Structure 1
Amino acid sequence: MPRIIAGELGGRPIPGSAGKGTRPTTDRVREALFSRLAGWDAIDGARVLDLYAGTGALAFEALSRGASAALLVEAHGASAQQLRRSAKALGLEDRAEVRAARAESVVDDLPAAGAEADARCRGDAGWDLVFIDPPYELATEAVESLLTALLPALAAEAAVVVERSSRTRPISWPGGYADDGTKTYGETALQYGGPA
């Protein structure tokens, strides 16, 4: 069972079980990821978008460490229901919104930064921190297409983290993004980027 590593909820287990095909980010990888984000001052007060949320470990960790709100997107209906129960059990239901939908359809419907917000967890300045942790079998081209669609909804200083298998061809950041590097931890590769 994944646990929250640090922050106000540090040490708390994330209730429930992962849905079929869910691959929670390991504690070791999450610790490295959040250390880097903290070094960039990318967490405190951030509006978080967690696509392919799975267990919610990334969004819940961000909320525990000071993010203001998060939208967790999960296509698997039972997993989305579990995310809602987990948010409630952790006392995060007022800061965590769960949407049972495909990541691509949610991204296509996001208003551009500067437009009027359509959700309690997003201000009109855009998303500050985005996690994209799709199933490893999702084609790299599909992830790149999602990033292209996402760009208009990002805050100017947003951080975007893509988690993929280290055996998969790395994404090429689409036009409009800056590549902030890649870190590999065994089977897991984290690619960092944001608006150029």
Structure 2
Amino acid sequence: MTRIIAGDAKGVSLTVPKSGTRPTSDRVREAMFSSLDASGVLDGATVLDLYAGTGALGLEALSRGAAEALFVERGAKAANLLKRNARQVQDAIAARSRRVRTQVVTGSALGFAERDGGRFDVVFADPPYEVADTELEALLAGLAPRLAAGGVIVLERGARSGEPATPAALKRTHARRYGDTALLTYELTV
């Protein structure tokens, strides 16, 4: 079962599609969010969750203090379940007297990064492990102009996967491994 780990929506269960997604484990999410919480980047943040699946990463960020989240998911069925998950989390947070905004876009993460505007404080990218490094390099390059000053990109990969080349506008600040999962964190170079 996938659930919100902490914050205003703690304990809310998320519906997971029967196939086509690989939700981030509680252990990895807890490690990821401990680091983000410590940096203070989530408070009032605008979040982008790419390859969103259940929306667990963006919804966890909302539960922990982010103000709005935009989710991009290619699969129509997963996007519909994500909308339901977002409503549940929004309702749980609203019961604590805080309002958050969500939007779900059905489409390609790379296509979104290359064409859509907006600035984000936190970007989560949790692609299928088989996505090629070249696609991830293009994704990172497309995200760099959309990252707010002081913002971060968190890329989740298989621990055995290669590390994509970092575009000049970004610097990799952390690389951590949790079993079969690797988390890579990027910030703007300037």
Which secondary structure does the structure 2 equivalent of 1:90 belong to?
A: helix
How far apart, CA to CA, are the structure 2 residues paired with 1:80 and 1:144? 25
How far apart, CA to CA, are the structure 2 residues paired with 1:94 and 1:40? 21
Query: Which residue is equivalent to 1:178?
Result: 171
Structure richer in strand, relative to its length: 2
CA contact (8 A) 1:164 1:190 kept: yes
Query: Percent of aligned pairs with the same residue?
Result: 44
How far apart, CA to CA, are the structure 1 residues paired with 2:112 and 2:172? 24
Query: Which residue is equivalent to 2:61?
Result: 62
- After TM superposition, the score normalised by the length of structure 2 is 0.91
Query: Which residue is equivalent to 2:34?
Result: 35
Q: Any stretches of 5+ residues in structure 2 without a counterpart? A: 92-98
Out of 107, 131, 136, the position equivalent to 1:138 is 131
Alignment of 1:67-82 (within 5 A): 67-82=66-81
* Runs of at least 4 residues off by over 4 Å: none
CA contact (8 A) 2:17 2:77 kept: no
TM-fit CA distance, 1:17: 2.1
Equivalent position amino acid for 2:109 in 1: A
CA contact (8 A) 1:80 1:100 kept: yes
Distance 1:38 1:94, change over 3 A: closer
Alignment of 1:122-133 (within 5 A): 126-133=119-126
Query: Which residue is equivalent to 1:168?
Result: 161
How far apart, CA to CA, are the structure 2 residues paired with 1:135 and 1:78? 16
Structure richer in helix, relative to its length: 2
RMSD over aligned CA atoms reads: 1.4
* Cα distance per residue 1:119-152 (max 9 Å; x no partner): xxx5xxx210000100000001110111101111
Paired residues, number? 182
CA contact (8 A) 2:62 2:100 kept: no
- After TM superposition, the score normalised by the length of structure 1 is 0.89
* Cα distance per residue 1:94-125 (max 9 Å; x no partner): 511000111111112222xxxxxxxxxx5xxx
* Cα distance per residue 1:28-61 (max 9 Å; x no partner): 0000000001111111111000000011000000
